[in-house]
Structure 1
Amino acid sequence: MAVTSLGICARTSSASLSLLSSPPRSPLRVSCYCPQLSPSPIDKTLTQIQNSGVIACLRANSAEQALKAARAALSGGISVLEIVMSTPGVFEVLQQLVQENPNPALGVGTVLNVEDAKNAINSGAKFLMSPAMVKDIMVDVKCAEVLYIPGVMTPTEILSAYDTGAKIVKIQSENISPEEQQQLFYQMPYLIKRQSFKIISMKFINLQILQLCRAMRL
């Protein structure tokens, strides 16, 4: 906690000569305690994603396979991991992983409705992903202080997500070439320059995309 001392001194009027013979008064000191605000859970998750540089996406045919693969990824240094909704027992898998690994940013992907969002949050998810912007999920996660990452493909969708309150979006890049992604980024300079807004590229990422993202500090 920061402590600030504030001194308050009274001025003496030239007409009040009788006060000059009085002993000087000590200035009044007031201590102001200014607690330093800690980052919100959403900001912490954003920082983890930015520091990691990679969001690993896990899709498995069974809960056992998911647990085995996730444990291997986390032990290998992955610090941000998304488990796709189609994985059987996804919420139980997430809950088990959170108990074993409380520090990494673990989340759920392909979340399409509020019910699944709430189940993921209750299981310990630090972030949720959707293939498109689902406004009801955005409203719900704000109250839970969980990061929401909607999918986008056009400048209009990026701006709409930003206006709705998204701090980060993912570009669905399956059918978008590196050159088209570059043009898309260049059309949004006013958003890219904002430190509070991030854009990430998903799927079929090659060296050219990585170099572009690094150059633009995405």
Structure 2
Amino acid sequence: MAVKPLPTPLRAIDVMLDAPVIPVIVLNDVAHAVPLARALVAGGIRMLEVTLRTPQALACIEAIAREVPEAVAGAGTLRSAADAQAAFNAGARFGVSPGYTSALGQACRDLQLPLLPGVATGSEIMAAMADGLTELKFFPALQAGGTAMLKAWYGPFGDIRFCPTGGVSPANAADFLALPNVACVGGSWLTPADAVAAGDWGRIEALAREASQLKRG
């Protein structure tokens, strides 16, 4: 099957619509980065959020960007302009953050780095909208109200597209994806820590393939 080419420059909505799930990846060993990325791509998932939660994260992004051209390496847990710059320098092509500040938004605009900023309240949505952002991460999704909150937001924020992340699993992903204001979901279940540690790339490919077949509303 031919791989759909990505637009240049890449936009946040392109990241969200490429597949139903963006994997939230925590890597502790650079040696795992490339085979993990290849397994996810083989399963139909190429937008890869590598979280900046470990000392090896930037090196992992750099390795994926250099050695797996079919993947689109992104950086999660961006909290500052310095994080955005470091991620960009490592080869990240999009960023994801747990919250939002105008300083982070400006840094990503300056770098032309698409950003999915985390929001959990109406005021945070409006702050992101004021800076021109309309594709947002709903985080932590389950703890902040889940599908009920997204349904409530659809009235006043019907023009915003969300990527719910945090507590999303195979058990509830379809419920989120059925909503008209959800473009995709983020989840860590595609890359279980035990599978990564064991190098069980076949299991991860299978999980990615299942996730890539999830239907949107």
Structure 1: which 5+ runs fail to align?
1-38, 193-197
Instruction: Give the Cα–Cα distance (whole angstroms) in 1 for the partners of residues 135 and 31 of structure 2.
Output: 31
8 Å contact kept, 1:154–1:184: no
| CA radius of gyration, larger in | 1
2:162 corresponds, among 189, 199, 214, to 199
Q: Give a deviation string over 1:95-134, Cα, whole Å, max 9, x none.
A: 1111122243211111111222111101111111111102
Q: Equivalent residue of 2:21, what SS?
A: coil
Q: How far 1:89 sits from its partner (Å)? A: 1.5
Instruction: Give the Cα–Cα distance (whole angstroms) in 2 for the partners of residues 131 and 162 of structure 1.
Output: 16
Q: How many residues are aligned here?
A: 172
Q: 1:147 to 1:167 in 2, by over 3 A?
A: farther
Instruction: Give the Cα–Cα distance (whole angstroms) in 2 for the partners of residues 97 and 66 of structure 1.
Output: 6
8 Å contact kept, 2:95–2:114: yes
Instruction: Give the Cα–Cα distance (whole angstroms) in 1 for the partners of residues 23 and 72 of structure 2.
Output: 11
Q: TM-score, normalised by structure 1?
A: 0.70
Structure 2: which 5+ runs fail to align?
1-6, 184-217
Comparing both structures, which one devotes a greater share of its residues to strand? Answer: 1
Q: TM-score, normalised by structure 2?
A: 0.71
Q: Please tell me the root mean square deviation across aligned C-alpha atoms, in Å.
A: 2.2
Question: Does structure 1 residue 125 correspond to structure 2 residue 92?
Answer: yes
Q: 1:121 to 1:97 in 2, by over 3 A?
A: same
The 5 A counterparts of 1:106-185 are 106-172=73-139, 173-175=141-143, 176-185=145-154
Q: 1:143 to 1:40 in 2, by over 3 A?
A: farther
- What is aligned with 1:79? 46
Q: Give a deviation string over 1:115-174, Cα, whole Å, max 9, x none.
A: 221111011111111111022221112122110111001122111101112242100103
Higher relative contact order (CA 8 A, sep 6+): 2
Q: Give a deviation string over 1:14-55, Cα, whole Å, max 9, x none.
A: xxxxxxxxxxxxxxxxxxxxxxxxx55133x53243132221
Q: How far 1:65 sits from its partner (Å)? A: 3.4
- What is aligned with 2:21? 54
8 Å contact kept, 1:98–1:124: yes
